[in-house]
Structure 1
């Protein structure tokens, strides 16, 4: 049943922004610097993997996909965020709002899919090393990467197609970016289909990937506990970055879910903004650092290229 004051709005108001006065220029500088570091670090590792044949292995190709996704997700947030920080009117058109929803939700889903597939890759490498090359072929790697991008994109398109036609009784989103759940909460029309789709997707896809991740790491831990010291060290060196990335991303997603679903008015506004953007800002900054420093082969290629560059400058 649609309420009498339901309507379609041409724009949304983002009420999560604070009135910071002249401090907005300081915040703009900090956020811009963060975005530049994210773009530079992820782009550097993408180029590094693409340009070095020694890194054309499944694990590094999955990493390359991960870094590309982080550039994509950051670009879905930061340019608009920077413009809004300097603006006194925090509005976004309906079209741009749903485009941002698509960008940020597909980023989050691709991130989760990629982490899950990387855990499967490490499971094969550690638990079935003799069969690894035959089971993780280039064609299979390509198929998995395409799947990690295609399936979430289709799923998010379906989600938006259910949300966009809703009749709304308001247009104020209490965040600094557009969020599908926040839009659905504004609806006066029936949202049962949206809720059912969200539950089905969560239990079938998200829970399915979580089971895959748990299964692979339990198997890896069993191999480590019964293997030699060298086996444990090798497994730890390759799996530690993946686990750190998974925990960091999960931490950010939990923050976002709690902030969206529960009343957080008692929490300071600046902390709410930080929690809601954590998985969009800290994850793209965290991954290049943790993978670049902890994966020896990637680290050695970085050192080699840096040494050659310094040598060419000196000579």
Structure 2
């Protein structure tokens, strides 16, 4: 039993400096969470109910919004509870589950953005082959890949972390992070495998990013000399690029803070940087798609104004 942690509870210390403003912070967080739920659920229900939106691009958008609901559920309820509670604690198993949810949310987002880039590449560069390439069977496989692969990869990371013996129950964050838990290990030599798997995971999703960049570079090159393709690019690809940039900026800030951040940085700044990828993309991305994509925008407008589509 030497490899089993004796710690049963973690203490989250990221909120200590903000407790004087907890009511205002609670109200703002609750509002943000409600808006995130409303916007994503609206997009999901609209796509599911309207058969005209049962196309690969919109199915992928629906999956994207579902992942936003999944990821925010791993953060907001616990954070709201901590704002009203004097003790910011989480069980050992609960901490691992939260880390699993938040990490898989980020990886699924990257996977779906990769599939979206591939979908736009086929739609614009190979339009005559689009329906045969992006068939229902292939779309189902790509969606399953976007969800199952991150769960397998992140699940491996979390399993390796669960085997470590930890020497401290204190996490200087608002939520559980696998890398921080690993740093609490009593024997650094035992974390070598964890570190290798973590770097392999990062490398896998760096390749996802390279594929997305290559896809859009090829798309831009293809669209430069065609007015029709350029219009299609601006209509359907700009939301994807905006989502990608929002996600990459927010997630890279958090990674840089975890890996290279100084403990001397203000706690408020650390909290803001750590939560950006859980707050901004799930709220902003569906708004971008719903306003930019004309089909879904018209459908939502018809529902809101109670008019037939």
- Normalised by the size of structure 2, how large is the TM-score? 0.95
Residue by residue over 1:70-112, the C-alpha shift from the partner in whole angstroms, topping out at 9 and shown as x without a partner, is 0000001000000011111111110100010111011111010
Structure 2 CA distance for partners of 1:157 and 1:49, relative to 1, 3 Å: same
2:298 equivalent to 1:303: no
2:39 corresponds to which of 20, 38, 41: 41
What displacement does 1:272 show? 1.2
What displacement does 1:300 show? 1.3
Residue by residue over 1:175-227, the C-alpha shift from the partner in whole angstroms, topping out at 9 and shown as x without a partner, is 00000000001112210000111122222x21221221122111101111122
Which residue in 2 is equivalent to 1:220?
A: 219
Which residue in 1 is equivalent to 2:172?
A: 174
**Does structure 2 conserve the Cα–Cα contact (< 8 Å) formed by 1:264 and 1:272?**
no
Tell me, which stretches of 5 or more residues in structure 1 are unaligned? none
| Structure 2 counterparts to residues 215-294 of structure 1, below 5 A | 215-227=214-226, 229-294=227-292
**Does structure 2 conserve the Cα–Cα contact (< 8 Å) formed by 1:77 and 1:104?**
yes
What displacement does 1:267 show? 2.8
**Does structure 1 conserve the Cα–Cα contact (< 8 Å) formed by 2:5 and 2:163?**
no
| Structure 2 counterparts to residues 81-230 of structure 1, below 5 A | 81-189=79-187, 190-203=190-203, 205-227=204-226, 229-230=227-228
2:7 equivalent to 1:9: yes
Please identify runs of 4+ aligned residues in structure 1 that moved more than 4 A. Answer: none
Residue by residue over 1:105-151, the C-alpha shift from the partner in whole angstroms, topping out at 9 and shown as x without a partner, is 11111010000100000000000000000000011111111111111
Structure 2 CA distance for partners of 1:198 and 1:22, relative to 1, 3 Å: closer
More displaced 10-residue stretch of structure 1: 108-117 or 213-222:
213-222
Residue by residue over 1:17-59, the C-alpha shift from the partner in whole angstroms, topping out at 9 and shown as x without a partner, is 1344552111111101110000010000000000000000000
Give the Cα–Cα distance (whole angstroms) in 2 for the partners of residues 257 and 21 of structure 1.
26
Question: How many positions carry a matched residue from both structures?
Answer: 305
Give the Cα–Cα distance (whole angstroms) in 1 for the partners of residues 77 and 206 of structure 2.
32
Residue by residue over 1:249-268, the C-alpha shift from the partner in whole angstroms, topping out at 9 and shown as x without a partner, is 00111111111112333432
Give the Cα–Cα distance (whole angstroms) in 2 for the partners of residues 137 and 297 of structure 1.
21
- Structural RMSD (CA): 1.7
Residue by residue over 1:294-314, the C-alpha shift from the partner in whole angstroms, topping out at 9 and shown as x without a partner, is 1111111112222325x9xxx
**Does structure 2 conserve the Cα–Cα contact (< 8 Å) formed by 1:12 and 1:92?**
yes
Structure 2 CA distance for partners of 1:172 and 1:21, relative to 1, 3 Å: closer
**Does structure 1 conserve the Cα–Cα contact (< 8 Å) formed by 2:57 and 2:116?**
yes
Tell me, which stretches of 5 or more residues in structure 2 are unaligned? none
**Does structure 2 conserve the Cα–Cα contact (< 8 Å) formed by 1:126 and 1:220?**
yes
- Normalised by the size of structure 1, how large is the TM-score? 0.93
